[in-house]
């Protein structure tokens, strides 16, 4: 990972408007820049730019955080390819991952996520956004308990889905799982979650270090009175349920379904096809057995 001195040097170069050949940058500065990309962008684009960038992209330190995003839910074979690249680049250190971001990857299930995180005890950041399984609160709650129990260093959790404007479905499964197993959280984003005031109070009781809390589109929470006072007094940044969502990076279209579920689904009908949860968990399992057994 890039040092603070490298970061300061890069900021100085940007402020001074210095022009140079980007391929000639010191490797630690190039690494600092490329770490802002996702796994797909690194494998498909950055490492093909030039020899020096390819060398940096193959350094194991680049693969302590992995971001996977897909606009095509049927590209599971492509995801497997990217995971294999990540295994290869990590040179046996994928178990040292500190960050995973998975978004719009609808063939990853809560079961697959649980199987993966038990192999990642150093994980500090986890984001699961706009994936099909996250609307099913009971199974996701069980998965998040596994996350909290397996990843004691977790400080950032983002679990985001589409909100419902008037839903009969209120669920604190996710909130209670967080409260039970993630006392060290500092950053929590629950965009579109179905938690209630009871679930939010449980989180506040059990997560004393929270600094950022994003509850936008959490329409079952009435953030007012003592609950609002409690949040504002303890947490530096609070995003309320009805706040603007212009800076939210995914589709935030509010579902108006009165039963609280997407079309063609009902509670408990999560698709668990044989291939659906293999990409992340089984690749990690192979990598850890290969290098550590």
pLDDT for 151-164, tens place per residue?
Answer: 999 999 999 986 55
Give a yes or no: residue 156 inside a domain: yes
Residue 24, in any domain of the structure: no
Beta bridge partners of residue 156, listed in sequence order: 125, 187
Residue 74: inside a domain, yes or no? yes
Residue recorded with tokens 């630690």: 28
Q: Residue 279 falls within a domain, yes or no?
A: no
pLDDT in tens, 10-21: 555 555 555 566
162 vs 47, higher pLDDT? 47
pLDDT tens, residue by residue, 254-268 = 665 444 444 333 333
SS3 of 274, please?
coil
Looking at the domain assignment, is residue 215 inside a domain? yes
**The CATH number of the domain where 149 resides is what?**
3.80.10.10
Tokens 């989180």 belong to 203
* Number of domains within the chain: 1
Range(s) of the domain holding residue 74: 65-257
Backbone φ, ψ for residue 68 (5° rounding): -120, 125
C-alpha 157/C-alpha 144 separation (Å) is: 10
pTM above 0.75, yes or no: no
Q: Hey, which bits of the chain come out as E strands?
A: 65-69, 99-103, 125-129, 156-160, 187-189, 212-214, 237-239
């Amino acid at each position: 990972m890039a040092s603070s001195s490298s970061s300061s040097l890069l900021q100085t170069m940007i402020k001074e408007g210095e022009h140079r050949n980007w391929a000639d940058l010191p490797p630690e500065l190039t690494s600092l820049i490329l770490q802002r990309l996702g796994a797909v962008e690194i494998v498909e684009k950055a490492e093909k730019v030039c020899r020096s960038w390819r060398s940096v992209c193959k350094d194991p330190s680049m693969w302590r955080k992995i971001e996977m995003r897909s606009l095509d839910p049927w590209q599971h074979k492509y995801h497997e390819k990217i995971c294999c690249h990540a295994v290869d680049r990590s040179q046996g250190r994928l178990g040292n991952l500190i960050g995973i971001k998975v978004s719009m990857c609808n063939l990853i299930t809560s079961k697959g996520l649980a199987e993966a995180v038990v192999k990642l005890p150093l994980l500090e950041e986890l984001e699961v956004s706009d994936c099909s399984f996250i609307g099913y609160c009971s199974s996701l709650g069980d998965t998040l308990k596994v996350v909290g129990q397996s990843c004691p260093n977790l400080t950032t959790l983002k679990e985001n889905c589409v909100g419902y404007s008037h839903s009969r479905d209120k669920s604190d499964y996710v909130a209670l799982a967080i409260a039970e197993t993630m006392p060290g959280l500092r950053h929590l984003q629950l965009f579109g979650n179905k938690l209630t005031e009871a679930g939010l109070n449980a989180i506040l009781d059990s997560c004393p270090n929270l600094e950022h809390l994003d509850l936008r589109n959490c329409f079952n929470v009435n953030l007012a009175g003592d609950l609002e006072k409690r949040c504002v007094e303890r947490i530096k940044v609070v995003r309320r349920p009805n706040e603007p969502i212009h800076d939210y990076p995914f589709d935030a279209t509010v579902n108006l379904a009165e039963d609280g579920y997407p079309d063609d689904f009902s509670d408990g009908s999560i698709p668990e096809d044989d291939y659906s949860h293999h990409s992340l968990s089984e690749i990690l399992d192979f990598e850890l057995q290969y290098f550590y057994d």
